[in-house]
Amino acid sequence: MTSIHVELSGLKKRFGDVAAVGGVDLAVPEGSFVTLLGPSGCGKTTTLRLIAGFYDPDEGEMRIGGRRINDLPPDQRNTAMVFQDFALFPHMTVFENIAYGLRMRGQSNPEISRRVEETARQLGLAGMERKWPLQLSGGQQQRVALARALIVEPEVLLLDEPLSNLDAKLRIRVRTEIRQIQQQLGKTTIYVTHDQEEALSISDTIAVMAAGRIVQVGTPYEVYYTPASRFVADFVGIANFVEGRVVQDRGVARVEAGGAVLEMGTRDLRASSSVLLTIRPEAVRLLEPGGSLEGQNVLRGVVTASSFMGSLARYWIEAIGIEWVVDVHMPVPRKLLAGEVILQIPGERIHVLEQR
Amino acid sequence: MLTAAGLRVREVRWLLREPALLAVLLAVAALLVLFVILPVIRVLSVPSAEHWLQYIQREAFVRATRNSILMAVLSTSSAMAVGFLYAYAIVRADIPAKGLFRTVALLPLVSPPFVTGLATILLFGRRGLITHGLLGLTYNPYGWHGLWFAQTLSFFPIAYLGIAGVLRAISPSLELAAHNLGARRFAVFRTIAVPLATPGLASAALLVSILVLADFGNPMLLGGDFYVLATEAYLQVIGRYNMEMAAVLCTVLLVPALGFFLAQRYWIGVRAYTTVTGRPTGLTPLRVSGPVRWVLFAACLLVAMIVLSVYLVIAAGAFVRVWGVDWTFTLKNFQYTLFRQRDLYNSVRFGAMAGVITAVAATVTAYLTQRKSFPGRGTLDFLTLLPVALPGTLVGIGFVLAFNQPPIELAGTVTIIVAAMAVRTLPVGYRLSVASLHQIDTSIEWASRNLGASSLKTFARIMLPLLRYAFAGSFIYSFVKSINTLSAVVFLMTPGKVVASASILGLADHGYWSQATALAFSLIAIALLALGALRLVAGRRVQLFDL
């Protein structure tokens, strides 16, 4: 079932002096939803355009279904793309926009009508076929762009930041819809975004990119909870970083940092090596002062700033020489904590980023 | 809910609260009525039914009309063909030496339009360098064929500008999207590029045909006995002093120009697809294939060489004793143009005055229409842009009709010449200012008002400094166009107030080729210097000609 559908190997593309894509390897299983996630300029969009054939790679190979596509022109790759600016043809109605790919494939008129109607219905565009793109709202334009790409039954669906032109609430709704449609159709999909929350919520697999390379590939859980580097930990979500030294290792790992000792359960760490630990803000437990200092990994801290954000309260807390970010969900007291507080860090929620 | 009337009342009340603003507004409106509306009304109202009957019946007028239409159709087709080739090659084919080609296209835009006519005579005339000098022929370029050649060269840059704008405005992602959905290159061209470009192309073609229709200098120089409406109108004024008949002919010229202006304002603007997608995507458009690219390059090179030869001939003519007879190098032609007569000096002086007036009027009017609300705002915008649609001949004759009698007697003054120049260049200056204003966020102005500055103070302290490049651009544009203009001022000059462009025509008419070319050369040099000065001051912030 999980045969590789799209395979990139050693893909490179330079623009002048800049290596936009500097050696990308990626295997996308049949029917899966893979997101290229990274900051602007990391090469994610260039990678997508290489797959679509808008650029020629300098080096490397691209295969779809085992077939090398490097030398195929864009119109023969069958990799329909949803563009960031939608790129709807302004001189064609919604119907003609959606029908475009079928016309180019020489389908008969009755067949085109039938399929456009079917696709329009699927995407909630029924009744809008005769409108012009400019008469539609952003969300509707988005759906036309998606319908236009899906109707040609592409081998691979490419999406280039398709939500960035929508407002925040609509973005969340549309991304859920995109995911649903993708799962219904079982369509192999490559999605590009710089929004980590979007990537986490929509993907089977995330490939985090930086400076033209893929730095980590994994499920959303893996990327979030076991980032491979400080960059990934920082880019995907918010992270607290603690540098320390392994003090004892008899099956149980202990790390000394800033005068405190953090117990991390059973782990395989070299004694007296330097480590970089990361802890997510929601993993830290926050207690009011005067509470018990007993138990594992309890630190004293002072709140330096706080902000109430509705479903959670966020604190900035000074402890063991580090400024921690701590999120408390469902904040119970009516007012925010201030002054001295106690942090408790569950050992199993600590992730070791680096070990030297 | 505010009713329309309620809104009006509120607008007026706002205005009354700022008397200085009101005064400026009234002054602008008065000047526009005086110098735009009044001349047009005079032209329209002077001829009687009898004159119109004459127009229909007299063989000469019918022929002139037919000739005008024929020339417009021929020259527009050829200018559009050359312009499209040029634009496609530069915008889409990524040919080498694009900068050179752009600069060459700029030359006809900043020199007197009849320079190509002058060069045509020097190259192909009875003593022409190519026909007589090289080939030993006695070819007669006077007539429709010579005129067609000259008009094509004069106006292809306008076509190129329009078409290049259209091609650039088509978002590359549209073509890539089509390609991505399975359309082959030619299918992309057919289903996306052509339909998207059509309204823009039609608009460019109409603009060129209006300009050809209204052009006066080249038909005067090269027409021979091929009279067109503009030259026929001139003959009516100068030869017969038949102002009524001239007004009839101008009105005939006005109809298509006004029609185009209104169509563009109310129809083409709605049909334009070009502003659909906003943010630049960083995608490069589909490129043409290698061989096509070189064919385009060769074609552009040919066009550029012809244009350059025009200007080289003008330069050469300026430095030889007698064209076609005595090729000795001399500077005495410049002695004549620079010291013996005041025409060149007049051109520069009047052009500079017109430039200042245009720049001030354009900036103030643009500020009023874009940032203030008052009753008649749309009308003010319309009136400021209207001169675009007025053929130069009509402006000249309209000014004569409107200002040669009390209450406003301006005939024979510098004022009337400068006013005609300023009116003709006001629309472009206004557009520059409007475009510039659109880039200044309204909140900047609000901040100034919020901090206690009045409307006028805000304009002077915040807007003017921000608009200074547009101001400089309007000034230079108006200056360059004014020193080159011929059709309007030729009716307004009196002895001692002759301008160089008219004097070139007179010299060429009498076969003083060396003096004529020296004067033309000086005008072109001054125009290029002015553009150079603008580039020095404003850098690339102001694009007078969006090449």
CA angle (B240, B242, B247) in 5-degree steps: 140
User: What residues in A contact B196, CB-CB < 8 Å?
Assistant: 90-91
- Sort out which chain B residues have CB atoms less than 8 A from A105's CB and list them: 182
Among A190-199, A244-253, B350-359, name the one with the lowest average pLDDT: A244-253
In a domain, B543, yes or no: no
Tell me phi and psi for residue A343, to 5 degrees.
-105, 140
Question: Which of B180, B187, B281 is closest, CB to CB, to A84?
Answer: B281
A135 DSSP 8-state letter: G
Mean pLDDT for the stretch of residues A120-140: 89
Give the pLDDT band (50/70/90) at residue B352: very high
Residues of A within 8 A of B278 (CB-CB) are: 85
Q: A49 touching B, CB under 8 A?
A: yes
- The encoded tokens of residue B515 equal 């003096």
| A98-112, B195-209, B355-369, B516-530: segment of lowest average pLDDT | B195-209
Residue B300 within any structural domain of the chain? yes
Q: Which of A65-69, A265-269, B177-181 has the lowest mean pLDDT?
A: A265-269
A268-297 residue pLDDT tens: 777 778 889 899 999 888 887 766 656 678
Is A80 near chain B, with CB under 8 Å? yes
CATH code of residue B94 = 1.10.3720.10
Residues of A in contact with B179 (CB under 8 A): 73-75
pLDDT classification of A98: cutoffs 50, 70, 90: very high
Q: Report residue B492 as tokens.
A: 């307004």
* Percentage of chain A modeled with pLDDT above 70: 96
* B181 touching chain A per CB within 8 A: yes
Q: Are B236 and B249 in contact (CB under 8 A)?
A: yes
Both structure tokens of B253: 């010229």
Contact check, Cβ <8 Å, B180/A75: yes
The pLDDT of residue B462 is above 60: yes
Residue B79: what pLDDT?
Answer: 93
Q: What is the DSSP letter of B284?
A: P
Question: Tokens 């000059």 appear where?
Answer: B493
Closest CA to B372 of B439, B432, B483, B455: B455
pLDDT of A249 strictly over 70 = no
Chain B nearest CA to A152, separation (Å): 7
CB proximity B272 to A under 8 Å = no
- For A83, the closest of B173, B182, B183 (CB atoms) is B173
Task: Output the pLDDT for position B238.
Answer: 84
d(CA A242, CA A299): 13
- What residue of A is the nearest CA neighbor of B185? A75
Highest mean pLDDT among A74-88, A111-125, A262-276: A111-125
- Beta bridge pairs of residue A305: A316
A107-128: b or e for each residue (b if 16 or more CB lie within 10 Å)? beeeebeebbeebbebbebeeb
Write out chain B residues lying below 8 Å of A100, CB-based. Answer: 178, 181, 183, 191
Q: How confident is the model at residue B546 (pLDDT cuts 50, 70, 90)?
A: low
DSSP element (H, E) containing A352: strand A351-355
What is the three-class DSSP state of A20?
strand
A73 vs B179: CB contact, 8 Å cut-off?
Answer: yes
Answer whether A74 touches B (CB < 8 Å).
yes
Where does the pLDDT of residue B1 fall: very low under 50, low under 70, confident under 90, or very high at 90 and above?
very low
Q: Over range A305-320, report the average pLDDT.
A: 88
pLDDT over 50 at B276, yes or no: no
pTM: 0.76
In a domain, B11, yes or no: no
ipTM summary value:
0.73
Find the mean pLDDT for residues B344-361: 92
Question: CB within 8 A of B138, min separation 6: which ones?
Answer: B126, B131, B132
Is the confidence at residue B274, as pLDDT, over 60? no
Enclosing H/E stretch for B195: helix B194-214
Cβ distance A89 to B192 less than 8 Å, yes or no, reads yes
Instruction: Work out the average pLDDT over B177-184.
Output: 89
Q: How far apart are CA A177 and CA A157, in angstroms?
A: 15
Segment A116-139 mean pLDDT: 89
Do the domain assignments include residue B282?
no
B93 vs A9, more confident: A9
- Rounded Cα distance between A32 and B213, Å, is 64
For residue A47, is pLDDT > 90? yes
Q: How far apart are CA B205 and CA B268, in angstroms?
A: 13
| Nearest Cα to Cα of residue B418 among B501, B358, B487 | B358
Q: What pLDDT does A293 receive? A: 59
CB-based contact (8 Å) between B202 and chain A?
no
For residues B314 and B112, give the distance between their C-alpha atoms in angstroms, rounded to a whole number: 12
Using only the alpha carbons of chain B, give its radius of gyration.
25
Expressed as residue numbers, the domain containing B305 is: 17-44+62-271+289-317+331-538
Going by C-alpha positions, the residue among B421, B530, B422 that lies closest to residue B472 is B530
Please, are residues A158 and A52 in contact by the beta-carbon 8 Å criterion?
A: yes
Is it the case that residue B24 has pLDDT exceeding 70?
yes
**Backbone torsions φ then ψ of A61, nearest 5 degrees:** -130, 145
Q: Is B152 helix (H, G, I), strand (E, B) or coil?
A: helix
Count up the domains in chain B and report the number: 1
Q: Cα(A145)–Cα(A163) distance, rounded to whole angstroms?
A: 11
The pLDDT value recorded for residue B277 is 40
Report the gap between the CA of B276 and the closest CA in chain A (Å). Answer: 7
User: Residues of A with CB below 8 A from B173's CB?
Assistant: 83-85, 87
The string of DSSP codes covering A283-330 is GSEEE-TTS---SSSEEEEEEEEEEE-SSEEEEEEEETTEEEEEEEES
Per-residue pLDDT band at B273 (split at 50, 70, 90)? very low
Q: Which residues of A touch B171 (CB under 8 A)?
A: 85, 87
Q: What is the pLDDT of residue B353?
A: 94
For CA atoms A91, A95, A97, A102, give the dihedral sign. Answer: negative
A90 CB near a chain B CB, below 8 Å? yes
B529 part of a folded domain: yes
Question: Helices B500-509 and B468-484, interaxial angle, to 10°?
Answer: 20
Nearest CA in chain B to A105: B182
Is B379 in the A-facing interface, judged by CB distances under 8 Å? no
- Is it the case that residue A333 has pLDDT exceeding 70? no
Per-residue pLDDT averaged across B197-210, rounded? 84
Percentage with pLDDT > 70 across chain B = 91
B285 to chain A: closest CA residue? A54
Residue B224, pLDDT > 60, answer yes
**How far does B199 lie from chain A, in Å, by closest CA?**
11
pLDDT surpasses 60 at B423: yes
Mean pLDDT of chain B: 83
Q: Give the pLDDT confidence of B247-267 residue by residue, as tens digits.
A: 888 888 888 888 888 887 776
Q: What is the pLDDT of residue B278?
A: 39
Give A73's contacts in chain B (Cβ within 8 Å): 179, 184
Write the residue in A84, A91, A104 that is nearest to B195 by C-beta: A91
DSSP assignments along B286-318, one per residue: PPPPHHHHHHHHHHHHHHHHHHHHHHHHHHHHH
More confident residue, A146 or B129: A146
B53 falls within a domain: no
- Answer whether residue B279 shows pLDDT above 60: no
CB A210: neighbour CB atoms within 10 A?
Answer: 19
Percentage of chain B surpassing pLDDT 90? 14
**B22 assigned to some structural domain:** yes
Task: Say yes or no for a CB contact (<8 Å) between B273 and A90.
Answer: yes
* DSSP calls for A54-82: SS--SEEEEEETTEE-TTS-GGGS---EE
Q: With contact defined as beta carbons under 8 Å apart, do B176 and A79 qualify? A: no
Pick the closest to residue B87 from B159, B152, B155 (CA basis). B159
Q: What is the mean pLDDT of residues B71-89?
A: 91
Confidence of residue B357 (pLDDT cuts 50, 70, 90): very high
pLDDT, residue B282, reads 57
Does A81 contact B at CB distance below 8 Å?
yes
Which range is most confident: A24-38, B156-170, B318-332? A24-38
Is A91 in CB contact (< 8 Å) with chain B?
yes
Q: Measure the CA angle with vertex B11, ends B433 and B437; round to 5°.
A: 15
Show Cβ contacts of residue A96 under 8 Å, excluding neighbours closer than 6 positions.
A89
| Among A117-121, B47-51, B282-286, B334-338, the least confident range | B282-286
Of A87, A90, A101, which is closest to B182 when you measure between CB atoms?
A: A101
Among A239-248, A272-281, A328-337, B385-394, which stretch is predicted with the lowest mean pLDDT?
A: A328-337
Quick one: pLDDT at residue B271? 46
Which residues does B401 contact at the CB level (< 8 Å), separation at least 6?
A: B39, B42, B43, B46, B243, B247
Task: Name the strand (E) or helix (H) holding A274.
Answer: strand A274-279
**B188 within 8 A of B286, measured Cβ to Cβ:** yes
The residue-averaged pLDDT of A301-321 equals 88
A70 touches chain B (CB under 8 A): no
Q: Please report the pLDDT score of residue B284 as a whole number.
A: 65
Across the interface, whether the CB atoms of A75 and B192 are under 8 A apart is answered no
For B279, the closest of A53, A81, A85 (CB atoms) is A85
CB atoms within 10 A of CB A23: 17
Is A152 near chain B, with CB under 8 Å?
A: yes
- β-strand A157-160 against A189-193: which pairing, if any? parallel
How many angstroms separate the Cα of A250 from the Cα of each of A243, A260, A271, A276, A346? 21, 19, 9, 20, 19
- Residue-level pLDDT at A201: 92
The conformation of residue B191, written as its DSSP 8-state character, comes to I
pLDDT for B272 beyond 70 = no
Confidence at residue B135, expressed as pLDDT on a 0 to 100 scale: 67
A324 interfacial to chain B (CB closer than 8 Å): no
Q: What is the DSSP letter of A272?
A: T
Calpha distance B530→B525 (Å, rounded): 9
In a domain, B263, yes or no: yes
